Chains A and B, each alone.
Chain A
Amino acid sequence: MAIVSLQNVTYKYPLTDAPVLKNINLQVNEGEFVAVIGPNGAGKSTLCYTVAGFVPHFFKGELMGAVEVAGAESSKSNLHEWVLNVGLAFQNPFNQISGAKYTVFEEIAFGLENIGVPREEMIQRVNDAMKLTGISELADRSPYSLSGGQQQRVALTSILVMHPKVLVLDEPTSQMDPIGTREVFGVIRTLAERGMTVIMAEHKVEWIANFADRVVALHEGQIIEDGKPQEALTSDVLAGKGFGISRYTSVARKAKEIGLWKKDKLPVTLEEAVEGFKNV
């Protein structure tokens, strides 16, 4: 059943004329890992903010339609209630780190302190969360002395430690090297399999193809494609609109024109490409 539901959602930021989200309808089931793709400016971050309650509670502006998470309606809730169900990791970790804490350990405990979790449980949860994301050795460092990729892991960990039902991630690996990206996608996949719902704005098509259950494509504030990665990422609807595509898809499309790709479906992953090309 749907844990996240957006019905006819249209949203305008304050002092702007044009809506950033236009008539969005999106249902996400519990435990589903949904990747949101689209060129910059398509509305991916705004969609993340909307699910996470920052729109409209923090950013204000004009929200029409209904946003429901775990049975509660956004317009009838407070942000401090909302964040118990939904965690958001920002695109730029620098915007998320509190500035009030001297160490990574304290930074990650910050959210738990605010909801009054007992000390022993807090320590346990912080240690477990750091272990999960592989940052235990950073516990005593200042959050500001870290590289961009390390800061992104701290930002992610400080959300995971809250045990949200729904995890919203805005380009969580943009500043990481390939090994960091692989580890983070691996952790998120595991969490989704344990029942956490994940909505992730992301450009890295090959990783989405291998890890996400479903892809939602946004263009100029509207959903123009929604489906399984193989179908959505190869859809003709996305052509010419600034979407990133996998090199496998792109080369297979060219191969098809000259008769070197025989299948109807185009590949998005290495395995699909090997499968389709191996008998040529």
Chain B
Amino acid sequence: MNIEIQNLTFSYPTGVQALRGLSLTINSGGQVAIVGQNGAGKTTLVKHFNGLLQPTSGSVKIGDWDTREHSVAKMARRVGYVFQNPDEQLFSKNVGVEVAFGPKNLGMSAQQAEGQVKDALAMTELSDKTETNPYDLSATWRKMVALASVIAMDTDIVIFDEPTTGQDAANIARIANVIKVLRERGKTVITITHDIDFCAENFERVIAMSQGRILLDGNANDVLGQEDILATTYVDPPQLTRLGKRLGLQKTVRNEEEFLAGLNK
């Protein structure tokens, strides 16, 4: 299911123009990271994907659905959205009920919903915490509950807004694994992130935004190597990319394998 965005602009009621005309296609199964300084329009853009925001002009299509013609509740069948702050989306008395809420609302049969919940809990390593109140868990685990509750809805498209904020190394690895499993299942995964090393290691396509526009869009190595342009939206290239540049490696590298291969030449 492709995402098609044409000439999208968006102004908040206060008059702030957050998106200034952008066009974009994300193919089914694509893995895309969106980077850029605070206020660049990243969250405003992805809130258009499930109809939380409607274009001021231009259009957003998810498969054959134009977001202006369908309710947010209906869009939720195609697009799952994990908020930056899990506390904005968790409300149930225990983890099992929380994660089951989405699939039930989509009208899945009890059996199918149960299967989805079990799968999402296993993927997020929460299977032993189903009876726990989400607010008795640490912030790290609450984040995983938020992920699970969206994954259980089995949407073709999954959006993560800043999934690694405030997470420790172990949980970042868990989140990277969730993204890997979704990729293997052919899901489209779109992630907003400030964590540029996480971006480099987990995404094939990178979009850099600045002031409501797309600054760069392409293969991760090509985008992450453009140090000067990225600097205009206050993004530093990944650690190993910077190291590779400083050492004069011919190709832009973004992970350990590429770096060591480049060094060995």
Q: Which residues of A contact B (CB under 8 A)?
A: 39-41, 91-92, 147-149, 171, 174-180, 203, 206, 242-248, 250-251, 254-255, 258, 260, 270, 273-274, 277-278, 280
Contacts and interface: CB of A to CB of B under 8 A. Distances in A.
A40 B197 contact: no
Nearest to B242: A270
A53 B259 CA distance: 47
Given A177-B38, A254-B260, A171 B239 contact: no
Interface stretch (B50-58, B95-103, B122-130, B162-170): B162-170
| Closest 10 A/B residue pairs (Cβ) | A244-B169, A179-B234, A247-B239, A174-B166, A242-B170, A40-B168, A177-B38, A39-B168, A40-B140, A274-B246
Given A147-B38, A178-B194, A178-B236, A250 B168 contact: no
A178 B208 CA distance: 14
A181 B264 CA distance: 34
B166 A178 contact: no
A180 B39 CA distance: 12
Given A174-B165, A244-B169, A251 B256 contact: yes
A274 B238 CA distance: 15
Contacts of A92: 139
The secondary-structure label for the interface of chain A is loop
B37 interface: yes
B144 to A, nearest CB: 12
Given A174-B165, A175-B166, A251 B240 contact: yes
B245 to A, nearest CB: 10
Contacts, number: 87
A177 B243 contact: no
B38 A39 contact: no
A90 to B, nearest CB: 12
Given A260-B260, A278-B247, A242 B168 contact: yes
B202 interface: no
Contact of B169 (A179, A180, A243, A251): A243
B85 A148 contact: yes
Contact of A39 (B169, B194, B197, B246): B169
A92 B234 CA distance: 24
Interface hub of B168, B170, B264 (most chain A Cβ within 10 A): B168
Interface hub of B140, B166, B247, B256 (most chain A Cβ within 10 A): B166
Nearest to B85: A148
Contacts of A260: 260, 263-264
Given A41-B140, A258-B260, A278-B247, 13 more contacts: A39-B168, A40-B138, A40-B140, A40-B167, A40-B168, A171-B166, A176-B194, A177-B38, A179-B37, A179-B234, A245-B169, A248-B240, A277-B263
Contacts of B172: 244
